[in-house]
């Protein structure tokens, strides 16, 4: 029974009476690398089960052994989403799916679904120092994100929808005095059938076979890819690839991405945003001084995308540098300063991590010690202090490791942890504004919240000042210009609001078109191959950099798109951005053209360019494709009718 309405939306009145579609759900999808598959899979026609809410230990026993209506669809309270419960579910045949309630009530003190030793196989260390022999970086990690589940796991983020589900459960499924409930029972069906299987090698091979021999080729999986963002204090000619003559460059790096157990959910506040904001604020602080009193060396700022998945962005940049396919190459690099997780230092000191293996070489050791000294002298007038951990401790997981694989380069990683991470929610959905202590007093309008300077903003601004001054000294700048280099807490506050609370704010709107509500998510995604234009976070960082370091020009829109026709503009040295302009109450902004030396570079793992899908040296992560992901609840009157009801599809 299928009636098409005038709007073209097919509605079936009988179906609407049976099923309640759940719109605000977030799935867990399947990811593959060279050897394994991780994530979740459902059957092709969805997995169904009788609902049961997991609130107490007796609920767990009911689901796993004593309940009379298996398989069950588990509605899991936050407190039960941990490794031991999920492993028991995985090994049981009575569980057909899990829907996790995402909330702060009942949240444990720590929850990190990432592994204890992130990116251990693609770093620079061999067997002695890899595998966290010296320091376990993420000891609170339970590895759930890297397990393979054969049932769907969804996250319920919307409180109203969770209430609907709970009501259905309470009305029909609840046990009365310990006896089993009777039919009709409330059931849920989850659809998240993934096309790819086994590993990237298999998936890519099958995609190739489909493309060559099938009439209707289906792509099974896509490599994770996006763009890195880079800029420099002195513009670099982007059409001149390979070694740049007379350029000695100090690289300042931060990562742009994060992840969590569920698809496209990655608030990544302490793990990623703290580093991005620190580097952006440092760039803003440095720019005027480097134009007035330029230091001898160029400073190259870069934001790497995809570092959570075996260093996609940094491995690609190093690969391009080695192949002479980038504006500079490794011989141009003087030193590297990377900003790691810096948000939780709260009055304690920051730590400068260095690599003990390359420091066995005397010249590298000397350069690293000089770098540490410069950083300590830059910290002299500030309220942050810096220290260095023990010499034998290896580097934490960082993009610097990929540069060290190519050769010994002096480098430091700045972080707020001496040994293990201070982040108790590393790479999870709970690494959000609250984890960084970014809270606003009640009663502020969004525009007031945008500029309100929290303590976190002031603290990050201090770190940014430290980074900016250290970079200036490292680039050979003079000591007496240092006091002019100060990060602006207001900019940091605006960045914190935009990256952690609400991306649809007046500042971001003035730079480019509006985005959806809520905070941005930092999962790398599939990039321009699939999703059209650049990922939103990459776009934000690109336009913010243009806003902070660019100059306003009076070009028209068409001139802005094609500046090569004008003799005063140089497309090789600069990029040109057409921005919307600040909107006021009376009118929308007047757009104008900004010229900045901000560029994007592709962040696709070299394994996909070399077609080595089973590579051990490069990231091989891909994301599976799927046809539809949805969830619905309905009442089942009996076991037989349950089978019939699950097979009903919308035939429109």
Partner 1 sequence: MDLSRVFFTGNSTMNLERMPNEEKLSLCRRYYLGGFAFLPFLWLVNVLWFFKEAFLKPAYTEQPQIKSYIKKSALGLILWVAVLTTWITIFQHFRARWGEVGDYLSFTIPLGTA
**Interaction mask 411-430, partner 1, x per CB under 8 A:** --------------------
- Does position 195 interact with partner 1 (CB under 8 A)? The reply is yes
- Does position 140 interact with partner 1 (CB under 8 A)? The reply is no
- The pairing of beta strand 350-353 with beta strand 148-149: unpaired
Stretch that binds partner 1, among 84-92, 214-222, 230-238, 390-398 (CB under 8 A): 214-222
User: What are the tokens at 27?
Assistant: 């799935």
| Nearest CB to partner 1, comparing residues 107 and 201 | 201
- Does position 193 interact with partner 1 (CB under 8 A)? The reply is yes
The answer, yes or no, to whether the previous bond of 441 is cis (omega within 30 of 0) is no
- Does position 241 interact with partner 1 (CB under 8 A)? The reply is no
Given a contact cutoff of 8 angstroms between Cβ atoms, the answer to whether 212 and 511 are in contact is: no
| Nearest CB to partner 1, comparing residues 39 and 396 | 39
- Does position 206 interact with partner 1 (CB under 8 A)? The reply is yes
Number of residues in contact with partner 1, rule: CB under 8 A?
16
- Does position 95 interact with partner 1 (CB under 8 A)? The reply is no
| Nearest CB to partner 1, comparing residues 196 and 501 | 196
Nearest of 81, 94, 222, 69 to residue 151 by alpha carbon: 94
Given a contact cutoff of 8 angstroms between Cβ atoms, the answer to whether 295 and 222 are in contact is: no
| Nearest CB to partner 1, comparing residues 150 and 562 | 150
Given a contact cutoff of 8 angstroms between Cβ atoms, the answer to whether 590 and 581 are in contact is: yes
| Nearest CB to partner 1, comparing residues 205 and 458 | 205
Nearest of 135, 54, 89 to residue 393 by alpha carbon: 135
- Find the binder of partner 1 among 85, 153, 185, 220 (CB under 8 A): 220
Q: Which three-class secondary structure state does DSSP give residue 49?
A: strand
| Nearest CB to partner 1, comparing residues 202 and 418 | 202
Residue 176: CB atoms within 10 A of its CB come to 8
The answer, yes or no, to whether the previous bond of 102 is cis (omega within 30 of 0) is no
| Nearest CB to partner 1, comparing residues 151 and 508 | 151
Q: Name the minimum Å distance from CB 122 to partner 1.
A: 24
CA dihedral sign, ordered 450, 452, 454, 460: positive
Q: Name the minimum Å distance from CB 193 to partner 1.
A: 6
Q: How far is Cα 285 from Cα 281, in angstroms, rounded to an integer?
A: 6
Strand partners, 301: 231, 252
- Does position 599 interact with partner 1 (CB under 8 A)? The reply is no
- Does position 44 interact with partner 1 (CB under 8 A)? The reply is yes
- Does position 649 interact with partner 1 (CB under 8 A)? The reply is no
| Nearest CB to partner 1, comparing residues 209 and 444 | 209
- Does position 205 interact with partner 1 (CB under 8 A)? The reply is yes
User: What are the tokens at 307?
Assistant: 């570092």
**Interaction mask 381-410, partner 1, x per CB under 8 A:** ------------------------------
- Does position 194 interact with partner 1 (CB under 8 A)? The reply is yes
Complete edge-to-edge strand list for the sheet that includes strand 551-553: 551-553, 592-596, 575-579
Stretch that binds partner 1, among 62-70, 191-199, 364-372, 555-563 (CB under 8 A): 191-199
- Find the binder of partner 1 among 197, 330, 573, 583 (CB under 8 A): 197
| Nearest CB to partner 1, comparing residues 41 and 620 | 41
Burial class (CB in 10 A: 0-12, 13-18, 19+), 170: exposed
Q: Name the minimum Å distance from CB 617 to partner 1.
A: 22
- Does position 378 interact with partner 1 (CB under 8 A)? The reply is no
Given a contact cutoff of 8 angstroms between Cβ atoms, the answer to whether 157 and 521 are in contact is: no
Please list, in sequence order, all residues whose beta carbon lies within 8 angstroms of the beta carbon of residue 333, skipping any fewer than 6 positions away.
249, 251, 403, 409
User: What are the tokens at 170?
Assistant: 């309470």
- Does position 29 interact with partner 1 (CB under 8 A)? The reply is no
Q: How far is Cα 140 from Cα 125, in angstroms, rounded to an integer?
A: 22
Stretch that binds partner 1, among 206-214, 249-257, 489-497, 512-520 (CB under 8 A): 206-214
- Find the binder of partner 1 among 82, 120, 161, 202 (CB under 8 A): 202
Angle (CA) 557 561 565, round 5°: 105
State phi, psi for 315 to the nearest 5 degrees.
Answer: -65, -35
- Does position 198 interact with partner 1 (CB under 8 A)? The reply is yes
- Does position 41 interact with partner 1 (CB under 8 A)? The reply is yes
- Does position 615 interact with partner 1 (CB under 8 A)? The reply is no
Q: How far is Cα 372 from Cα 379, in angstroms, rounded to an integer?
A: 11
User: What are the tokens at 409?
Assistant: 């380069």
Q: Name the minimum Å distance from CB 27 to partner 1.
A: 14
Residue 312: CB atoms within 10 A of its CB come to 32
Q: Name the minimum Å distance from CB 221 to partner 1.
A: 11
- Does position 204 interact with partner 1 (CB under 8 A)? The reply is no
Q: HEC profile for 538-569?
A: HHHHHHHHHHHHCEEECCCHHHHHCHHHCCCC
Return the residues of window 66-85 that contact partner 1 according to CB under 8 A: none
| Nearest CB to partner 1, comparing residues 207 and 491 | 207
- Find the binder of partner 1 among 2, 14, 18, 209 (CB under 8 A): 209
Residues contributing to the site for partner 1 (CB under 8 A): 41, 44, 193-198, 202, 205-206, 209, 214, 218, 220, 624
């Amino acid at each position: 029974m299928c009636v098409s309405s005038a709007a073209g939306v097919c509605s079936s009145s009988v179906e609407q009476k049976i099923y309640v579609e759940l719109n605000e759900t977030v799935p867990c999808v399947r990811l593959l690398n060279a050897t394994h598959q991780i994530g979740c899979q459902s059957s092709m026609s969805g997995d169904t089960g009788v609902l049961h809410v997991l609130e107490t230990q007796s609920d767990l026993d009911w689901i796993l052994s004593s309940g009379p209506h298996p398989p069950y669809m588990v509605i899991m309270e936050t407190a039960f989403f941990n490794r031991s419960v999920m492993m028991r579910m995985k090994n049981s045949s009575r569980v057909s799916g899990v829907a996790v309630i995402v909330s702060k009530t009942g949240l444990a003190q720590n929850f990190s679904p990432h592994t204890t030793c992130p990116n251990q196989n693609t770093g620079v260390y061999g067997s002695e120092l890899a595998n966290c022999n010296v320091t376990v970086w993420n000891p609170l990690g339970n590895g759930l994100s890297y397990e393979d589940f054969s049932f769907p796991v969804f996250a319920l983020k919307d409180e109203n929808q969770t209430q609907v589900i709970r009501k259905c459960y309470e009305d029909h499924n609840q046990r009365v005095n310990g006896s089993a409930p009777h039919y009709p029972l409330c059931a849920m069906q989850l659809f998240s059938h993934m096309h790819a299987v086994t590993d990237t090698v298999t998936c890519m091979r099958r995609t190739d076979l489909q493309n060559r021999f099938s009439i209707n080729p289906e792509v099974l999986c896509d490599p994770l890819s996006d763009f890195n963002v880079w800029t420099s204090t002195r513009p670099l000619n982007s059409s001149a690839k390979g070694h740049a003559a007379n350029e000695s460059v100090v690289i300042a790096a931060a990562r742009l991405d994060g992840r969590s157990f569920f698809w496209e959910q990655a608030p990544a506040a302490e793990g990623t945003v703290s580093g991005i904001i620190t580097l952006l604020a440092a760039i803003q602080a440095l720019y005027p001084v480097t134009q007035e009193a330029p230091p001898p060396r160029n400073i190259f700022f870069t934001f790497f995308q995809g570092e959570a998945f075996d260093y996609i962005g940094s491995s690609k940049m190093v690969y391009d540098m080695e192949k002479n396919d980038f504006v500079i190459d490794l011989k141009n690099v003087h030193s590297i300063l990377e900003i790691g997780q810096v948000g939780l230092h709260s009055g304690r000191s920051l730590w400068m991590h260095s690599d003990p293996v390359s420091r066995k070489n005397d010249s590298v050791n000397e350069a690293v010690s000089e770098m540490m000294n410069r950083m300590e002298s830059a910290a002299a007038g500030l309220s942050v202090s810096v220290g260095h951990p023990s010499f034998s401790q290896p580097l934490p997981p960082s993009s610097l490791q990929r540069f060290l694989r190519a050769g010994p380069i002096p480098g430091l990683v700045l972080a707020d942890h001496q040994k293990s991470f201070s982040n108790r929610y590393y790479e999870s959905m709970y690494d959000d504004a609250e984890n960084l202590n970014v809270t606003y007093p009640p009663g502020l309008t969004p525009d007031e919240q945008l500029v309100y300077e929290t303590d976190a903003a002031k603290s990050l601004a201090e770190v940014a000042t430290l980074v900016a001054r250290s970079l200036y000294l490292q680039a050979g700048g003079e000591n007496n210009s240092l006091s002019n280099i100060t990060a602006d807490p207001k900019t940091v506050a605006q960045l914190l609001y935009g990256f952690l609370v609400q991306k649809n704010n007046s500042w971001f709107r003035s730079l480019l078109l509006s985005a959806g509500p809520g905070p941005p998510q930092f999962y790398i995604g599939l990039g321009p191959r699939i999703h059209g234009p650049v990922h939103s976070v990459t776009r934000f960082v690109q336009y913010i950099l243009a806003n902070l370091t660019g100059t306003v020009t009076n070009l028209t829109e068409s001139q802005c798109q094609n500046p090569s026709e004008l003799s005063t503009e140089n497309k090789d040295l600069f990029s040109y951005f057409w921005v919307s302009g600040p909107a006021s109450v009376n009118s929308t902004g007047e757009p104008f053209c900004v010229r900045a030396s901000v560029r994007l570079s592709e962040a696709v793992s070299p394994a996909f360019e070399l077609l080595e899908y089973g590579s051990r040296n490069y990231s091989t992560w891909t994301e599976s494709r799927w046809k539809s992901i949805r969830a619905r609840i309905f009442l089942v009157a009996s076991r037989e009718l349950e089978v019939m009801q699950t097979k009903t599809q919308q035939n429109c």
